[in-house]
Amino acid sequence: MDGFLRQPKPKQADRQLMPDGQPVVTQNTAASKVVVTDNSVKINDDVAHDGSNKKPKSFKKKLWVIFLAVILIVMAASAAAFYWYKEALKPVSSSNDYHTVTINKDTTYDFLVQRLKERGLIKSELAAKIYGFTSGERNHLKEGSCKLKPSESTEAIIKKVTAGCHDFKSVTFYPGATIEKPLYKPPSATLDQTMYVKNILKEAGYSSDQIKAALDIQYDNPLFADKPANTSLEGYIYGETYHIATDASAEEVLKTTFDQMYSVLKDNKLIDKYQKQKLNLYQAITLASIIQRELNCEGKPTVERTNRCYQYQRTIAQIFLKRLKENISLGSDVTFIYAADMKGVTPTVDIDSPYNTRVHTGLPPGPIASPGFHALMALGNPSETDYLFFIAGDDGLIYFAKTQAEHEDNIQKHCQQLCNEL
């Protein structure tokens, strides 16, 4: 060997002979195996694909990472929402002070939830709405007056109001009733003599002193806008059944009736209708009370009879409005009966009293009873007729006339019993 390192000879390509004697040259490279055959090149597919599989695997791995991240975010958000929901349903405070919440037949679940939040009885309207929806309780409200505390959870409060509260008493006033006990009752009258306001309050558990104090208060309510000072509450105690908190005062009971009556007037736009007839609210309630005592349409056994009665009231309203306009006395017997009750004497047609519309023209000094819903509506929507007289017949029907002669004829034909009661 000489002193020099010999460069290794490059390896010759492996040589193979094809069947036809042509050489076959094969060469290995890092990336692929090349086969040269008859001046053509073929790349081994298996080797070529080995490197191309690396990119899809990396992309799938990234997708899994993103998917897991989204799952974790959703789980974290769900946990936070669940925690908020549970916290929002907890009691507002540890206070055990009672708040009275009344649920009427028209109260909606969403309105109730709003009131509960306003009164500081629940933490969140949204949480209460979610609970009402998921539990199904929103569809099971029951009428009543509930005594609720801030120390109760939203779940407990909702379950209580949907189960039906027993923290109330029912007090029923009647359309056509008076404050004092009526002394005279015609044989045909249907109103029970015990249905006067003072007796109803007494049966509800109030003492005579409490009742007197409540009736003597000067109340602040838009219902009394046109009411003369120092006049009584006759005609303003709206006839309906009320659910009153067991510890409510007699004053609070009366306030509830005033609110209800004003609501009826506003909801039916009756105040505007009365003004178009040139009647202020006090005058309208006075005239409606006379219509009520002339014909009571409340509590009829069928819808048909109620509707027929209401149409009668509308025509009676038309007659009274026409008489007022033409300065003719109303000629209503129920007014001199009320006058006699106030004086404590037997009713007579010519009794000396400003309430006697058989003697005096115009309206009496004030209402003679509590007008019901239909009487108030009838005055606001009088019939488009032109009658001047009416009588209640012995058969329960009302007969109308345009002239005195027609009226006298109706009396002879249809009113032998009732017209002789006085």
pLDDT in tens, the chain (422 residues): 444 334 444 444 444 444 455 554 444 444 445 444 444 444 444 444 444 445 566 777 777 778 888 888 888 878 887 888 889 899 999 998 888 888 887 889 999 999 899 989 999 999 999 998 888 888 888 887 788 889 999 999 998 888 877 777 889 999 999 999 988 766 555 667 789 999 999 999 999 999 999 999 999 999 999 999 989 999 999 999 998 888 889 999 999 999 999 999 999 999 999 999 999 999 999 999 999 999 999 988 899 999 999 999 999 999 999 999 999 999 999 999 999 999 999 999 999 999 999 999 999 999 999 999 999 999 999 999 999 999 999 898 999 999 999 999 999 999 988 787 66
Nearest to 41 by CA among 20, 29, 26, 52: 26
| Count of other CB atoms within 10 angstroms of residue 23 | 13
Q: What is the pTM of this model?
A: 0.68
Q: What is the pLDDT of residue 247?
A: 82
**Dist CA 374 CA 296 (whole Å):** 8
What pLDDT is recorded for position 244?
85
**pLDDT, position 191:** 63
Q: What is the pLDDT of residue 186?
A: 61
Question: Where do the structural domains in the chain lie, given as residue ranges?
Answer: 99-166, 197-386
Q: Compute the distance between CA of residue 287 and CA of residue 49 in angstroms, rounded to an integer.
A: 102
Asked if 221 and 259 count as a contact pair (C-beta separation under 8 A), the reply is yes
User: CA-CA distance, 42 to 36, in Å (whole number)?
Assistant: 7
Kindly report the CATH class assigned to 99-166: alpha beta
Q: What is the CA radius of gyration of the chain?
A: 45
Identify whether the C-beta of residue 335 lies closer than 8 Å to the C-beta of residue 355: yes
